[in-house]
């Protein structure tokens, strides 16, 4: 599929291509709809202001605006139940109802989530990306003003996130640059390492893996080219599903645990042990390509920077088999030329919330901090949930028994770092806690206008 055949003006922005690191602020505003007609009137006014995927030739805006809806939100806006029934099961159930699949137990259970999340009160999500704090304040003031004037809407929750220097997340790693290559979207130079591994090189993924109403990896090989399941047009065209998940990070506990363990590992090499947990050095360089030490400079955006396969490291001596990136995108690691993995890819757009814990501090300062994890996919169950359930929260696919992803923390309590001898990293603390989340539908622009006009059958 060529870029020209993708209707970028009908797809919301920041999905196929990120707005970019110049947008240092992202705010999420969850809204409740008390009155369907007023909610639709507000949406009608908003449709033209929603930022699309069209390239910015005339310079970037100071702030962008995007919109997504929960299942209760569709109902609150008057979308008929018979239409809502055509959306995917997991979207209709919502993230809280999927807690068992996602491993959200104990402190991460929905009963302990932040007020307004997982309760059915959050109907719409407005996402604002802004270049600086003054652009953010202007956009937020305008949004709040419009909500107040409408009278039929209420703010359920606001969450404000901010990019740290060098695009690091709270545990200290460069994050967010490894993304799937998409046919007709991704620069061909960036395909190596981002798409589907082939005998000779890599190929990009079909658009329908991420945007509804287009051929996905299955339908493109179907002789009748039947499109993947989606609501009827216009809802099922150029729309997608979004996962919004607030994950608290206990940075002090993570630092202490790694520091204590490194006393027994590789001559007290704390940085190396950190790298083994993620599969990348903190600057982003992959262990497969740089197993002994990080290169002094690593530009994750350089062509080919992400080009590596796990076949060169079958025993995990360079990158542990249970490292975070080897679990979350195993590439060719499960054999069969990557055929077991390429249907489970996600586009990630997360941002850190809360203040950074100053470098070297290993005692908690009581501040709330973590990651607002956001991803887009055409099938939440096959893509996001599969990664979380089968690869991060379970070791079976990798012959790792009960080992779970060490970064996220889990019930097993350890990570195996292959080597001669192997090193067992323990204990695995509750480094992360789910504070809440929602599954959302991100309508294409025509779909959004149809919902706003109340003409969805």
- Catalog residues that contact ligand HEM under the rule CB under 6 A: 169, 171, 173, 175-178, 247, 249, 278, 280, 324-325, 328-329, 346, 371, 373, 384, 387-388, 392, 407-408, 432
Separation of first and last alpha carbons in the chain:
30
Triad 416, 389, 406: Cα angle to 5°: 30
Nearest approach in angstroms of CB 342 to ligand HEM is 11
Between 237 and 276, CB nearer to ligand HEM: 276
**In this structure, are residues 353 and 370 in contact, taking their beta carbons and an 8 Å threshold?**
yes
Token couple for 380: 């939440």
Nearest approach in angstroms of CB 137 to ligand HEM is 27
Q: Which residue is nearest to ligand HEM (CB)?
A: 178
Between 87 and 310, CB nearer to ligand HEM: 310
- Count other C-beta atoms under 10 Å from residue 239's C-beta: 29
Which among 253, 289, 303, 279 has a CA at the least distance from the CA of 391? 279
Between 316 and 444, CB nearer to ligand HEM: 316
DSSP label of 385: I
Between 173 and 441, CB nearer to ligand HEM: 173
Between 64 and 329, CB nearer to ligand HEM: 329
Nearest approach in angstroms of CB 177 to ligand HEM is 5
Between 18 and 47, CB nearer to ligand HEM: 18
Nearest approach in angstroms of CB 14 to ligand HEM is 16
SS3 of residue 63 by DSSP = strand
Between 43 and 408, CB nearer to ligand HEM: 408
Nearest approach in angstroms of CB 102 to ligand HEM is 9
Which among 196, 125, 147 has a CA at the least distance from the CA of 349? 125
Token couple for 409: 């923390």
Whole-number Å distance between alpha carbons of 159 and 372: 9
Residues with Cβ within 8 Å of 219's Cβ and at least 6 positions away in sequence, in order, are: 206, 208, 225, 226, 227, 228
Which among 113, 108, 28, 121 has a CA at the least distance from the CA of 71? 121
Helices (H), 108-180: 133-150
Nearest approach in angstroms of CB 238 to ligand HEM is 23
Nearest approach in angstroms of CB 373 to ligand HEM is 5
- Residue 336: exposure state from Cβ atoms within 10 A (0-12, 13-18, ≥19): exposed
Residues with Cβ within 8 Å of 269's Cβ and at least 6 positions away in sequence, in order, are: 262
Whole-number Å distance between alpha carbons of 346 and 343: 9
Between 231 and 284, CB nearer to ligand HEM: 284
Nearest approach in angstroms of CB 108 to ligand HEM is 12
């Amino acid at each position: 599929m060529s870029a020209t055949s993708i209707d970028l003006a009908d797809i919301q922005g920041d999905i196929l291509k990120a707005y970019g690191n110049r947008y240092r602020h992202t705010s999420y505003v969850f809204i409740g709809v008390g009155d369907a007609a007023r909610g639709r009137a507000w949406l009608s006014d908003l449709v033209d202001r929603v930022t699309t995927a069209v390239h910015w030739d005339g310079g970037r805006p100071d702030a962008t605006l995007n919109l997504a809806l929960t299942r209760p939100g569709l109902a609150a806006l008057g979308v008929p139940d018979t239409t809502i029934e055509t959306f995917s099961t997991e979207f209709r159930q919502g993230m809280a109802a999927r807690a068992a699949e996602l491993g959200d137990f104990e402190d991460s259970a929905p009963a302990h989530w932040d007020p307004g999340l997982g309760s059915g009160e959050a109907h719409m999500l407005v996402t604002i990306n802004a270049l600086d704090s003054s652009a953010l304040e202007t956009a937020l003031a305008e949004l709040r003003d419009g909500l107040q004037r409408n009278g039929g809407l209420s703010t359920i929750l606001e969450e404000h996130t901010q990019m740290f220097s060098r695009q690091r997340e709270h545990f200290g790693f460069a994050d967010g640059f490894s993304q799937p290559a998409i046919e007709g979207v991704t620069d061909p130079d960036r395909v190596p390492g981002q798409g589907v591994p082939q005998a000779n090189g890599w190929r990009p993924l079909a658009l329908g893996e991420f945007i509804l109403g287009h051929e996905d990896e299955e339908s493109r090989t179907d002789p009748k080219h039947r499109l993947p399941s989606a609501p009827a047009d216009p809802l099922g065209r150029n729309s997608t599903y979004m996962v919004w998940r607030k994950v608290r990070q206990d940075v002090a506990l993570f630092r202490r645990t790694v520091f204590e363990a490194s006393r027994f590992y590789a001559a007290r090499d704390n940085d190396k042990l950190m790298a083994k947990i993620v599969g990348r050095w903190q600057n982003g360089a992959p262990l497969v390509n740089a197993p002994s030490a990080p290169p002094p400079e690593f530009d994750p955006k350089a062509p080919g920077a992400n080009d590596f396969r796990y076949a060169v490291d079958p025993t995990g001596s360079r990158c542990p088999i249970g490292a975070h990136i080897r679990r979350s995108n195993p590439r060719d690691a499960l054999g069969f030329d990557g055929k077991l993995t390429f249907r489970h890819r996600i586009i990630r757009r997360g941002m850190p919330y809360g203040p950074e814990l100053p470098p070297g501090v290993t005692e908690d300062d009581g501040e709330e901090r973590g990651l607002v994890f956001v991803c887009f996919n055409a099938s939440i169950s096959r893509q996001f949930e599969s990664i979380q359930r089968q690869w991060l929260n379970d070791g079976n696919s990798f012959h790792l028994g009960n080992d779970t992803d060490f970064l996220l923390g889990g019930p097993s309590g350890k990570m195996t770092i292959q080597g001669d001898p192997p090193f067992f990293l323990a204990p695995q603390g509750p480094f992360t806690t789910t504070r809440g989340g929602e599954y959302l539908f991100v309508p294409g622009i025509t779909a959004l206008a149809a919902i706003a006009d109340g003409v969805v059958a």
